[in-house]
Structure 1
Amino acid sequence: MIKFFRRIRQQLLHENKLRKYLLYALGEIFLVVIGILIALQLNNWNESRIDRKKERQVVQNIYTELDQNLEYSQNILAEIEKRTLSATTLMEHTSREVQTITASTFDSIMIQAFLFPPYTPIKADLERVLGSEQIDLITSTELQYRLSDYKTSIDEAALYYRYAEDDFKLLILPYFMKNYPLKTLLLEYGLKVPPSRHKTLHTDLLASREFENILSVIFADSVGQLQVINANLNLIQSIKDLIENQYPSVVSRTDGQS
């Protein structure tokens, strides 16, 4: 092909047809430019196709992680709700002059109030995306903002949980170690241990101001935990809804894999 064009140029020069030669040269330049533009367009199209494939994979990983966190957060929320209800029930009894609650009922409620389930949602894919250039692959600006908000929400929940954990370690656990036979809790868990010979009347605990204060700390921490988990649940659901709306192929592929 190159020899063919060169032969035409030489023929035009040889025949001294300068005007035709210039027109031909311009046409050849035009064809070269068009060829370059087409090549660039094809290259850009190919790179865009690769980026969109990477984007779908990134969004799919995040969607799967969100799905796991949704179920996990709902389970933890249910545990914290039981803890809050147990603390509330016991606080109602601390205000009574005459106690009608039995020791066995007291112990069964105590085990729920004493539980302190941690909240550690999965965030490996989320942090990997937000901490790298992968975030630029996501073409949805709204999704980028929502993911950043979710990361902030997880960090805030972790911070609140550290405060609640401090209360548990520094106030709640030492109180129970001193005033309540933890063997009773082990028995309530269904573990095979001999009963404790150290008896603590539940009526004495319910009449104690210190016990009431401990219950108040458990209740306050549990309410705070419910708030941060609910906030995360709302964000998870809103991000899932956004992905399902803007990336339906990702969702259908994820459902197919499950």
Structure 2
Amino acid sequence: MLLRRVIEHVKAQNWTAVALDFVIVVVGVFIGIQVSNWNAARADRETERVILERLRSDFVQIVETESHYLETVEAAASGAEALLDAAANDRLPAETASLCKLMASPRAFRPPPPPSATYEQLVANGDMRLITDETLRLELAEFESQRSQHSVSFGTAMATVLALSRTFWTAVDICDASLRAPDSRFGMRVSEIVASPEFAGAVSGILTQHGNAERAHRATKEQAERVLSFLAEAE
């Protein structure tokens, strides 16, 4: 209809009307584009709101997991310290069950927490732009960097512990076997192992790795808490 009217105005050489029709077309297109942009921006903000909620849920779980892991690692370090002290001062219990119980907590190692599934999906889909807070984006990247470093250090620590503390793990395996099928020979073998010079060195190595693990878990937990604080500000 508008095109027909423009043609009529051109035939009539009514240039004022032609100019007015042109302005109407331009303004209409501009308004249409603006409305489309506003709708897209509103949709992006709603998507961002959902993303922030999911990220918050992820990181609340990560902090809770790391809090639990930290307690476990701290208890393991304390147990290793007590075991090392008893071994160094010839105060290890003579009873097999008590001796095995003393070796229970130092064996507990915990891996880094799993990544944020929401963050991984954003990166994989190239959708990080949907998070408008640049500082929050940087904190998320920093957390994943810390978690990745933690994962590498955990793998190295476990390889080191298994390689350099075999005496301890041999005693632990025998303790586990004695629980499944009690046998006096197991007790004698454990007593022989813990009395060896290598045993104290093995426990010392485990204590060192627990100290490293505690620092790694604490750093990961603190970075996750930083992300949570920025998420709270972004909401």
Q: Distance in 1 between matches of 2:139 and 2:223?
A: 8
**SS in structure 1 opposite 2:127?**
helix
Distance in 2 between the 1:69 and 1:6 partners? 65
Q: Check 1:177–1:90 CA distance in 2 against 1; reply closer, same or farther (3 A cut).
A: closer
Aligned partner letter, 1:99: R
Distance in 2 between the 1:25 and 1:128 partners?
A: 52
Q: Which residue, out of 222, 226, 229, partners 1:238?
A: 226
* Pair 196,114 (structure 1): closer, same or farther in 2 beyond 3 Å: farther
Q: CA deviation at 1:152?
A: 0.5
Match of 2:85 among 82, 85, 92: 92
Structure-2 change in CA distance of 1:30 and 1:181 (3 Å): closer
2:152 is matched with which residue? Answer: 159
**Which blocks of at least 5 consecutive residues in structure 1 are unaligned?**
248-258
Q: Aligned pair in 2 of structure 1 residues 230, 177: CA closer, same or farther (>3 Å)?
A: closer
Please state how far the C-alpha of 1:120 moved relative to its aligned partner: 4.1
**Equivalent of 1:229, from 203, 212, 217?**
217
After TM superposition, the score normalised by the length of structure 1 is 0.78
Q: Does 1:128 align with 2:128?
A: no
Quote the Cα distance in structure 1 between the aligned partners of 2:69 and 2:172. 26
Q: 1:41 aligns with which of 18, 34, 41?
A: 34
201-210 vs 113-122, which deviates more? 201-210
* Correspondence 1:32 to 2:25: yes
Paired residue for 1:254? Answer: none
**Post-superposition shift, 1:30?**
1.6
Give the % identical residues: 19
d(CA) in 1 for partners of 2:154, 2:101: 25
Q: 1:22 to 1:7 in 2, by over 3 A?
A: closer
Instruction: Give yes or no for contact 2:63–2:221 (8 Å, CA) kept in 1.
Output: yes
How many residue pairs end up in the alignment?
Answer: 234
Check conservation: 2:115, 2:144, Cα contact below 8 A: no
What is the correspondence of 1:214-225 to structure 2 with a 5 Å cutoff? 214-225=202-213
Q: 2:162, 2:169 within 8 Å by CA — same for their partners in 1?
A: no
More deviation in 131-140 or 51-60? 51-60
180, 184, 196: which is aligned to 2:175? 184
For structure 2, list consecutive stretches of 5 or more residues without a partner in the other structure: none
Cross-structure match for 1:250:
none
Within a 5 Å distance, the mapping from 1:140-159 to structure 2 comes to 140-159=133-152
Give the corresponding residue for 1:199.
187
| 1:234 Cα deviation after fit | 0.8
Q: Give, in whole Å, the separation in 2 of the partners of 1:166 and 1:3.
A: 78
Question: Counterpart of 1:9?
Answer: 9
1:240 is displaced (CA, Å) by: 1.0
Q: 1:251 maps to which residue?
A: none
